[in-house]
Amino acid sequence: MSFSRKLSYSAAAAALFALAAPAAVYAQNTSSQVRGSVVAEDGSAINGATVTIIHIPSGTVSTTLTAGDGNFFQSGLRVGGPYRLAIQAEGFQADIIEDIRLDPGSNTPIRVTLQGGQADTIVVLGQRLQSLDINNGAGSTYTARDIANQPSTNRDVIATLLRDPLANSSGEGNLSVAGINPRFNALAIDGALQQDNFGLGSNTYATSRSPINLDAIESASIVASDYSVTAGNFTGGLVNIVTRSGTNEFDGSLFYYRSDEDFRGDVVDGNIVGNPPFTEEEYGITLGGPIIEDTLFFFVSYDEFESGSSTDFSAGDAANGRQAGFYNALNTLVQNELGFNMGGRPTSVSNPVTSERLLGRLDWNINQDHRASFTYQSTKEAGTSTSGTGFVSSWYDIPVDVTAYTGQVFSDWNANLSTTFRVNYTEFVRGQNCRAGAGQPHLEFRLSAADVAGTVLDGLLTNTSETTFIGGCDRFRHANEYDDTRLTLFGSADYSAGNHVLTLGGEYEQFELRNVFIASSNGRFIFNNVQDIINGTARIEYVNVPSNNASTGAAEWGVDRFTIFGQDTWQVLPELELQGGFRWEFFSQDDTPPNDPAIATNFGQSSQENLDGRDVFMPRLSARWTPLDRTTVSGGFGLFSGGNPMVWISNAFQQSTVFTSANNVTLNGFGIPQNLLNNVANGTPSVIDGIDPNFEIPSDWRASIRVDQEFDAELGDMFGLPEFFNLGTDYRFTFQYLYNRTNNGFQWRNLAQTQLPAALPTGVAPDGRTIYADLDALGIGNFTQLTNHSEGENHIFTFTLAKEFENGLGFQWSYGYQDVEMGSEGSSSRGISSWRGIVDTDRNFPSARTSIYQVQDRFALSFWYERDFFGDLTTRFDLFGEITSGAPFTYTFDINNSNSLFGRAGLGEGPFDNSPLYIPTAGDARVVYAGTFNQTAFDALINSRGLARGQIHEVNSDFGPWNQQWDLRIQQELGSLPFVEEFVGDNRFNLVVDIENVLNMLNDEWGTQYNAPGFGQVALVQADMVSTADVAANGVNGATALTGDAMRTACTTAGSCVYRYNRYQNFREPTGFLSSGSSVYNIRIGLRYEF
């Protein structure tokens, strides 16, 4: 049988171009779908045409028939390809479409026109395939080839996802999508959710590094909106990874990568940067092939990683007035006076990081109508958390163990009905092991320049603000264990009825966890000055369950989620598709939080509120329109929910504890005094976290529109110019607009401040903001209620231009603009810390404000060039650059425990420096200035930054410096082993060189990275409040500062008190701080053998 090709636009050409531009995808899909229509030359539908779909590498064959309207549909196909489609119908010439590659989920509909007349020649005629599947939402998918070519010194798949203009990352494993808190992301590997379920960190992964070897990935996608009803479990972004499968040929790879301190730059803008010694090695193997040809296949991947996590504290020390020798001097002082060696704190350190990953997959073609797959995955990792203000003893090691199992069955019951069934089971264990060892106390030193004056530390700490230094075992690690399991059952059915595809299905998820978390159960010993250390006196805070055995205080609970969904995909016209449906999630929970009758008495709600009976109904509607052959417009709107950090729910389930403390205790070692142990044993345990009875499952409304336009740039032919101006064909331009509005977001409220009579009435600050009670001064505990807010709208615009030339050159240029608001930061795991972390004039009732996760402007630029410079050995260069605007930040008051200004939490919880600063006018009656305040420098900053006077500084309205970073990958084929070709076919050695921040290698003044102020805050002014009458009577400097709860009771109106600005922290003027570690180049070299 002969074959002829009559189309100038072949499927192979379209597939090649797809490598240059990412495609939109359905979220959480582990298989592919093909749909389309078969028509005659006059446009009439062909009924009963046979469509045969062949996966060439494995020989897997699927067959379907067209319906009366000529439409066909097939699901459950392997991701990737290449595929061959053969279309045959009685009375027509057959058609074959070659070299099709499929993304996860839905793919662009294929329209095939068959010529009339029976023939023995199969003609490749089908209409040109669109290289981009518009899934009606916003996102991108990347192939194994894209991932293999992306520059990355850590082999992190997120490095590839950053080509998408919606994405942004602050480091390995971190990913923010469309300006949303990374905690709301989800990660699915073969359908198994593997994000940080509990939400203790801000990584997309449950691990620090990627939980999967890049060589094991067939496809990786990122989505911000997806209007398919099967898409769920995220309100940030979803990273969906599909692993590779075995084929009829044995394929695999061996690799080894290495780096050390000699491969790392050490000069930034003329300044030497210390590089502690480290050796980083990564090595592994992948192998796939047939067990039974055309029927049963395997794929396995194993790799190990060993490195040292390099951290340089010098820049942070310099910026915060910590001189060389300070830590050694303080450590020696504590060891001499208190007998405790805190381990010092080096200027730079390289901590060991290890990772071991195993993945195995089986694929079984049961028969032509049924296919199954099974995936096993194991990731073991160990790392260390360090702190610039923490001694080595307070650092802690973090072992992590993730195990996942996935089984899937794809079935075609007839030409119209297909089903997918999937089961996932994931186990996760995380430890937090203090370097000081088990049972060790938390030592806390609150020091400033004034505190160390005249002592052995004099001159070693020049920061006039109080800084907290930690030694011993960090109190949050005293009793800290966590593990969870997640079981998910998924089933869906697709039924093709004419020009409709109906999707129905459901999902069941069972999530169970065990969490031991009792902070300060070994004791928190607080020293407020150097004299306290010398005298051996401290404030001791102790928290525990009444048994005084923290191991009995575990919170163990679970929750079940039931989901039903339905959808109709209607091909209204060949060029118009409508899709509508719903996703409805129900929560069932038998476990309840501890019962505390005092909560009902004091706050009018039960402490045992849980998620039982709550639900969220999510309608979805979208459309795709192809008005022209090379133009596609898509969009939709819907409600999304999921990806919620379980720790925020779990706080309510923590065992009730007793808090006790004692001041000015003369120490005899660091054991808990007996009277404090007795207080806990005899005390009444109290609940400090609860769920609002009216709490709604968090969700966001999203809408988007997307335009994809292919065009040619043959300017010479178009305008009669020289050949030089013919710039090629098949450019792709993409525009996206994404809108997000919070429907029900997470919010925290301290009801002890808003409802308890002893904490009311509230006061009024000079600028009109509310002054809440200082609960700690009043001896009142906290009750942090998890509730909802509906604040915040986001507007995202992106533009992408991509092109791959025939000479091996290609590029993709993207720009993203974000205008993102938030109702709460969600920056901590504890309820009280999440509340304390809210940057607003009223953290109990915050308003929408610019998000700390917003990246207003971002350019993502990719260039590549591939050519055979040395015989038939291919050389490839890939250059990727990011240019980003600075991170937002807020000017705030510099406050402390005794002078919180606007209220303080109870139970020893100190305030953060996150109350927005009031910016006075000239002669402002709301502010007076102490003689120690540098008003000239303060006014100069206000004028230089253009800050609005006479009002509270708008949250996150100033921005740090712009940054740019360029990474380079060079790949060089080195030849092959001819004697193994008869066993494995084509094989080759490859040398891979990755250079992160290559500009710094070219010039030490280039590639310099600056961080915005830490935590998005610049604590610029030390201030207190004084009564207006006191100032009038005693003068500015003679007035008595209001402390503790006195501000609330004395300042009853805006005119009752004034701010007294005491000190201007001019050393905090810079809006950007040099990041030495990110500003040097880093080289990694690898040797690969692929077959």
869-894 pLDDT, tens digit per residue, is 999 999 999 999 999 999 999 999 99
Say whether pLDDT at 1047 is over 70: yes
The per-residue pLDDT for 38 is 87
Give dist(CA 160, CA 149) in Å, integer. 9
Round the CA-based radius of gyration of the chain to a whole number and report it: 31
| Rounded-to-10 torsion of CA 523, 528, 531, 535 | -20
Look at the alpha carbons of 1062, 1064, 1065, 1067 in this order and tell me if their dihedral is positive or negative: negative
* Whether 670 contacts 523, CB under 8 Å: yes
pLDDT tens digits, one per residue of 94-109: 788 888 888 777 777 8
Within-domain flag for 19: yes
DSSP class per residue in 360-418: EEEEEEEETTEEEEEEEEEEEEEEEE--TTB-GGG-EEEEEEEEEEEEEEEEE-SSSEE
The per-residue pLDDT for 569 is 94
How much is the average pLDDT of 786-794? 96
DSSP class per residue in 78-110: PSEEEEEEEEE-TTB--EEEEEEEE-SB--PPE
Residue type, 356: E
Rounded alpha-carbon distances, angstroms, from residue 152 to 235, 995, 997: 27, 8, 10
Q: What is the DSSP letter of 120?
A: S
Q: 570: pLDDT confidence band, cut at 50, 70 and 90?
A: very high
pLDDT tens digits, one per residue of 358-378: 999 999 999 999 999 999 999
Q: Helix or strand or coil: residue 647?
A: helix
Residue type, 288: G
Give dist(CA 1070, CA 247) in Å, integer. 57
Q: 1043: pLDDT confidence band, cut at 50, 70 and 90?
A: very high
Q: Where in the sequence is the domain holding 106, given as residue range(s)?
A: 3-124
How far is C-alpha 904 from the chain's CA centre? Answer: 31
Q: 56: pLDDT confidence band, cut at 50, 70 and 90?
A: confident
The per-residue pLDDT for 1 is 35
Q: 127: pLDDT confidence band, cut at 50, 70 and 90?
A: very low
Say whether pLDDT at 986 is over 80: yes
Within-domain flag for 59: yes
* Count of helices and strands (H, E) across the chain: 20, 60
Short-list 68, 74, 33, CA closest to 51:
74
The per-residue pLDDT for 28 is 61
The per-residue pLDDT for 117 is 67
- End-to-end Cα, the chain, rounded Å: 32
Question: How many beta carbons lie within 10 A of that of residue 5, not counting itself?
Answer: 13
The per-residue pLDDT for 578 is 95
Short-list 238, 305, 314, CA closest to 276:
314
Say whether pLDDT at 1013 is over 90: no
Q: Helix or strand or coil: residue 123?
A: strand
Within-domain flag for 20: yes
Short-list 125, 55, 51, 70, CA closest to 95:
125
Say whether pLDDT at 131 is over 50: no
Give dist(CA 181, CA 199) in Å, integer. 11
Q: 136: pLDDT confidence band, cut at 50, 70 and 90?
A: confident
- Pick the more confident residue, 910 or 23: 910
Give dist(CA 635, CA 226) in Å, integer. 10
Length of the chain: 1091
Give dist(CA 415, CA 1039) in Å, integer. 87
Give dist(CA 841, CA 366) in Å, integer. 63
Within-domain flag for 115: yes
* Whether 736 contacts 770, CB under 8 Å: no
Question: What contacts 111, CB < 8 A, 6 or more positions away?
Answer: 36, 37, 39, 126, 127, 574
- Report, in this order, helix, strand and coil percent for the chain, each rounded to 5: 15, 45, 40
Q: What is the 3-state secondary structure (H, E, C) of 410-458?
A: EEECCCCEEEEEEEEEEEEEEECEECCCCCCCEEEEEECHHHHCCCCCC
Give dist(CA 701, CA 793) in Å, integer. 10
Q: 71: pLDDT confidence band, cut at 50, 70 and 90?
A: confident
Q: 433: pLDDT confidence band, cut at 50, 70 and 90?
A: very high
The per-residue pLDDT for 17 is 32
Whether omega before 761 lies within 30 degrees of 0, making that bond cis, reads yes
Short-list 456, 376, 501, CA closest to 34:
501
Whether omega before 82 lies within 30 degrees of 0, making that bond cis, reads yes
Within-domain flag for 8: yes
Q: What is the 3-state secondary structure (H, E, C) of 1005-1062?
A: CCCCCEECCHHHEEEEEEEEEEEHHHHHHHCCCCCCCECCCHHHHHCCCCCCEEEEEE
Residue 363, strand partner residues: 297, 373
Ranked by mean pLDDT, the top range of 70-84, 354-368, 974-988 is 354-368
Q: 126: pLDDT confidence band, cut at 50, 70 and 90?
A: very low
Within-domain flag for 381: no
How much is the average pLDDT of 232-259? 93
Q: For the chain, give the mean pLDDT.
A: 91
Question: How many beta carbons lie within 10 A of that of residue 154, not counting itself?
Answer: 21
Give dist(CA 98, CA 78) in Å, integer. 16
How much is the average pLDDT of 739-748? 97
Say whether pLDDT at 61 is over 90: no
Say whether pLDDT at 329 is over 50: yes
The per-residue pLDDT for 27 is 43
DSSP class per residue in 310-350: EEE-HHHHHHTTB-TTHHHHHHHHHHHHH--------SEEE
The per-residue pLDDT for 123 is 43
Within-domain flag for 100: yes
The per-residue pLDDT for 982 is 78
Short-list 319, 353, 350, CA closest to 172:
353
* Whether 501 contacts 514, CB under 8 Å: no
Short-list 213, 203, 594, CA closest to 378:
213
For 734, the token pair is 């993409």
Within-domain flag for 58: yes
pLDDT tens digits, one per residue of 696-737: 999 999 999 999 999 999 888 888 888 888 899 999 999 999
DSSP class per residue in 581-630: EEEEEEEE----PPP-HHHHHHHSS-TT--STT-EEEEEEEEEEEEEETT
Which residue carries 């399991």 as its tokens?
Answer: 485
Give dist(CA 81, CA 58) in Å, integer. 9
- Pick the more confident residue, 1059 or 119: 1059
- Pick the more confident residue, 87 or 445: 445
Give dist(CA 1086, CA 1089) in Å, integer. 10
User: What percentage of residues in the chain have a pLDDT greater than 90?
Assistant: 75
pLDDT tens digits, one per residue of 619-638: 999 999 999 989 999 999 99
Short-list 349, 262, 353, CA closest to 1081:
262
Short-list 665, 506, 663, CA closest to 586:
506
User: What percentage of residues in the chain have a pLDDT greater than 70?
Assistant: 95
Give dist(CA 801, CA 961) in Å, integer. 26
Q: What is the DSSP letter of 1004?
A: T
Rounded alpha-carbon distances, angstroms, from residue 209 to 87, 172, 173, 205: 45, 7, 6, 7
CA atoms within a 13 Å half-sphere pointing along the CA-CB vector of 429? 9
Domain CATH for 11: 2.60.40.1120
Q: Helix or strand or coil: residue 760?
A: coil
pLDDT tens digits, one per residue of 516-543: 999 999 999 999 999 999 999 999 999 9
Say whether pLDDT at 757 is over 90: yes
* Whether 925 contacts 1058, CB under 8 Å: yes
Which residue carries 């006039």 as its tokens?
Answer: 464
The number of folded domains in the chain is: 1
Q: What is the DSSP letter of 638?
A: E
